[in-house]
Amino acid sequence: MGHWTPELLSPAGSLEKLKVSVLYGADAVYLGGQKFGLRQASDNFTYEELAEGVEFAHSRGALVYVVLNSFLHDKDLAELPEFLALLSELKVDAVIVSDLGVISTIKKHSNLVIHLSTQASCLNVESAKLWQQMGAQRIVLGREVTIKEAAKIKQATGLEIEMFVHGSMCMAYSGNCVISNYTQGRDSNRGGCAHSCRFEYSIDFNGATSGSSEEANKKAYFMSSKDLEGIRLLPEFIEAKIDSLKVEGRNKSHHYAGTISKVYGDALRYYREHGNFLSSDMLLWEEELRKVSHRDYSTGSLATYAGEDTIYNQREHDDNEFVVSGIVLEAARDQHLLVDVKSAFHPGDILEVMPFKGPTTKLRVDFLKTLSGVDLVKSKPGSVVKIPFLPGAEKFNLIRKAVRV
Ligand code: SF4
């Protein structure tokens, strides 16, 4: 049976990304419907997409959690029972909630399993016990909690415990912030966060900004946080029996969803088979995590409380090493790959095909054709094209292209 590992919980920002996350190794995915979640900007699921997504995940043994973690006003709450009935009908595996009014409504109108959202900032045993009495079966702990503290909460309550293992962090207590409300007119606690903390600010620390330009610049991004990377702490998560490891990023790319699910999925699979992480692939896994767009990585508060070294003192910039060129729709043996194009590429380009398991394989675009066989000089995003066949390539494999070396 192998050694026990936590669930790997990946983001599903769209139906396509749900499929990517599941196929690349997620044990469970979380997603938002058209309302009640905290990511207005993500490509939230319609009812039909939700039905297809649940069926896709369940048929592959993966679970689906739906976020209902906005803080709602009474007028919003009135519309919730109808959505709960739909979720019950689809047999989603849990809902992720932070508002007590939402929890109360769920208990009155459904038997849905309740996970407490990180947005509720549960940081201690007494708080966890109270949420347990309210009906929570799982607590997604605040990012401010260390793995050691999380272990104590689990031991004292018997609750399922979920912690973030990778992705963006928020400098406020897990989203309890109104900077976006005041600077952009967008409500962070109802899904409108504009990442205002990442902006450049000038502030006069008793005249510090009038000092050297280096000092002034250093203070300018003082609220922006580095990204979380917990791969080196997987042994600690396992020892603490943390039930679920969550990857942040419903708004992020297909490349992100696929790569992070694959890397952590591969690492956890290695542990199940060997009972340790002494794999020569550890460096390769870390290298892959650096290929997706990210700020500098940090372990946040997982080992010790986050401090000054978790501040990302830089202007946001695009550091993508790769972009997704397309997704394989069909692999016609010895003939061609049919590809749903996501970004332009050309004949002669060297692409990389990401298998669901194992290392990527390079593929030279020796021909690029339309479905009817007409030669192209460039692929157009949104179109479907034929490129050379690659042994081992499968439907839904991501194909990427290096944008800088
Ligand atoms: S603006 Fe920054 S600190 Fe505030 S909720 Fe958004 S990510 Fe968090």
pLDDT tens-digit profile, the chain (405 residues): 699 999 999 999 999 999 999 999 999 999 998 877 666 555 689 999 999 999 999 999 999 999 998 888 898 899 999 999 999 999 999 999 999 999 999 999 999 999 999 999 999 999 999 999 999 999 999 999 999 999 999 999 999 999 999 998 888 877 678 888 888 888 877 777 888 888 888 766 665 555 555 555 555 677 888 899 999 999 999 999 999 999 999 989 999 999 999 999 999 999 999 999 998 889 999 999 998 888 889 998 998 888 888 888 777 666 678 899 999 999 988 799 999 999 999 999 999 999 998 889 999 999 999 999 999 999 999 999 999 999 999 999 999 999 865
Question: Is the Cβ–Cβ distance between 328 and 353 less than 8 Å?
Answer: yes
The architecture in CATH of the region 7-169+225-310 reads Alpha-Beta Barrel (3.20)
List the chain domain ranges: 7-169+225-310, 179-220, 322-402
Q: Is 172 in the pocket of ligand 1 (CB under 6 A)?
A: yes
| Strands annotated E in 222-321 | 227-229, 244-247, 297-298
Judge if 7-169+225-310 and 322-402 fold alike in CATH terms.
no
Tokens of 212: 């050297």
What backbone phi and psi angles, to 5 degrees, belong to 87? -65, -40
Ligand 1 centroid to residue 62 C-alpha, Å: 30
Contact 226, 311 (CB under 8 A): yes
- pLDDT recorded at residue 320: 73
Q: Name the burial class of residue 122, with classes exposed (0-12), middle (13-18) and buried (19+) by CB atoms within 10 angstroms of its CB.
A: buried
Pocket of ligand 1, candidates 169, 184, 193: which has the most ligand atoms within 8 Å of its Cβ, to mutate? 193
Per-residue confidence (pLDDT) for residue 131, from 0 to 100? 97
Q: How far is the CA of 333 from the centre of ligand 1 (A)?
A: 48
Query: Residue 330: which residues within 8 A CB-CB, separation 6 or more?
Result: 337, 338, 395
Residue 71 is given by DSSP the state P
Q: Please tell me the predicted confidence (pLDDT) of residue 309.
A: 83
**37 pocket-lining for ligand 1 (C-beta < 6 Å):** no
Helix/strand/coil for 255: helix
Best probe residue, ligand 1, of 143, 164, 181, 195 (max atoms within 8 Å of C-beta): 195
169 Cβ closer than 6 Å to some ligand 1 atom: no
Please give the number of the atom of ligand 1 that sits closest to the Cα of 176: 5
Residue 362: CB partners within 8 Å, gap ≥ 6? Answer: 350, 351, 352
pTM: 0.91
pLDDT for residue 248: 94
Q: What is the CATH number of domain 322-402?
A: 2.40.30.10
Q: What is the pLDDT of residue 221?
A: 77
Residue nearest to atom 5 of ligand 1 (CA): 175
Residue nearest to atom 4 of ligand 1 (CA): 177
171 lines ligand 1 (CB under 6 A): yes
Which atom, in ligand 1's list, is nearest to the CA of 175?
5
Q: How far is CA 78 from the centre of its chain?
A: 30
pLDDT value of residue 70: 85
